[in-house]
Structure 1
Amino acid sequence: MSKKPDNHKISSDLDTPTDLAPGSVDKVSEALNVLLADAFALYMKTKNFHWHISGRHFRDYHLLLDEQSDAIFATTDQLAERVRKIGGATLKSIGQVAKLKTIKDNDEDYVPPREMLRELMQDNKHVATAMRKAHEVCDEAGDVASASLLEVFIDETERRTWFLFEASRQEGSNAA
């Protein structure tokens, strides 16, 4: 089952002119659309945990997850518009997000706070890895602008990972 959106059949009304080769547009669009789907999935999971956090550090974790979900959501429009700028087609539905995302849902009734933070930390690490791979696709396509955007997003993702790591450490523990 291919996760690739059908970019080569874009309407002529939406076929934005670009100097990138059509095959490169397809490859970059595919990579960015998977990142976009993951951004929506990670946003929703982060909001889920934000809404359902409990316990001793409630306020700190609640605010941290709210801040992180806002930062994740802020990437969505930039990713989608980047696909359009190069003449690709981007996501159109929640169904497409579900097909393309690689972030696993967590529908548990209760998740302990530390487990929430650790799960989100791992998800952010996963996203950073995927962004690096997408960066390579952009480099191969000569798409400097998409690569540059991803460099900023990688740094932001690593920052979220770091904050989640530090927040999830047990008191007096040096272990990860």
Structure 2
Amino acid sequence: MTSKDNSKAALIDSLNGLLADTLALYVKTKNFHWHVRGPQFHDLHLLFDAQATEIFALTDVIAERVRKLGGKTLTSIGSIAARTTIKNQDDTGLDAMAMVRELFEDNTAYVATLKATKELAGEAGDNATDGIIDDWTDQAEERAWFLREILA
């Protein structure tokens, strides 16, 4: 395997990790949308839904980048669970601010994952992935910003 092949394989692997995190972040955000309660219910219910919709829209684009690069994508809930760095949250009684804090932390970590994947795209000479990640990063930074401001 050449250095370029190794760089491409590392990028595909990173994109699949990003795909797992994207799907897990979607499910967690949607879970919080369904279970949020309290004085800020209306605003947070709508915010979580909007953020979940934005996150879900990335899944197909990320998977298609993997396929365009000649890789195979994640194939099951098990493959997603094995690859994600997003921690499960099954507590449906979590208070609203704990949900906001957790999503803020997850989106901030997601930005770091995006930046690491962008670096691998550059090493692999994949200008398309390198460029599109900037948009994904901007979206994730905006999600984190909105959540951070709620916590202030």
Which TM-score bucket, shorter chain as reference?
A: over 0.9
Q: Find the counterpart in structure 1 of residue 103 from structure 2.
A: 120
Q: Does 1:79 align with 2:62?
A: yes
Is the 1:25–1:88 contact (alpha carbons within 8 Å) kept by the matching residues of 2? no
Question: Take 1:90 and 1:52, find their aligned partners in 2: how far apart are those partners?
Answer: 30
Q: Find the counterpart in structure 2 of residue 37 from structure 1.
A: 20
Residues matched between the structures, number: 151
Amino acid at match of 2:16: N
Q: Find the counterpart in structure 1 of residue 144 from structure 2.
A: 161
Structure having greater relative contact order (Cα 8 Å, sep ≥ 6)? 2
Question: Take 2:37 and 2:65, find their aligned partners in 1: how far apart are those partners?
Answer: 38
How far did residue 22 of structure 1 move?
Answer: 2.8
Question: Take 2:39 and 2:58, find their aligned partners in 1: how far apart are those partners?
Answer: 31
**Percent identity for Structure 1 against Structure 2:** 45
Out of 82, 86, 93, the position equivalent to 2:76 is: 93
How far did residue 167 of structure 1 move?
Answer: 1.9
Question: Take 1:56 and 1:143, find their aligned partners in 2: how far apart are those partners?
Answer: 47
Amino acid at match of 1:114: M
Other structure's SS at 1:108 match: coil
Amino acid at match of 2:85: T
Unmatched 5+ stretches in structure 1: 1-7, 9-19, 170-176
Give the TM-score, by structure 2 length.
Answer: 0.95
Q: Does 1:145 align with 2:124?
A: no
Give the TM-score, by structure 1 length.
Answer: 0.83
How far did residue 76 of structure 1 move?
Answer: 0.3
How far did residue 149 of structure 1 move?
Answer: 1.3
Unmatched 5+ stretches in structure 2: none
Q: Find the counterpart in structure 1 of residue 53 from structure 2.
A: 70
Amino acid at match of 1:134: T
Is the 1:25–1:87 contact (alpha carbons within 8 Å) kept by the matching residues of 2? no
Is the 1:47–1:66 contact (alpha carbons within 8 Å) kept by the matching residues of 2? yes
Other structure's SS at 2:55 match: helix
Higher helix share: 2
The 4+ residue runs of structure 1 with deviation greater than 6 A are none
- Over the residues paired in the alignment, what is the CA RMSD in angstroms? 1.4
Q: Find the counterpart in structure 1 of residue 34 from structure 2.
A: 51
Question: Take 2:64 and 2:105, find their aligned partners in 1: how far apart are those partners?
Answer: 27
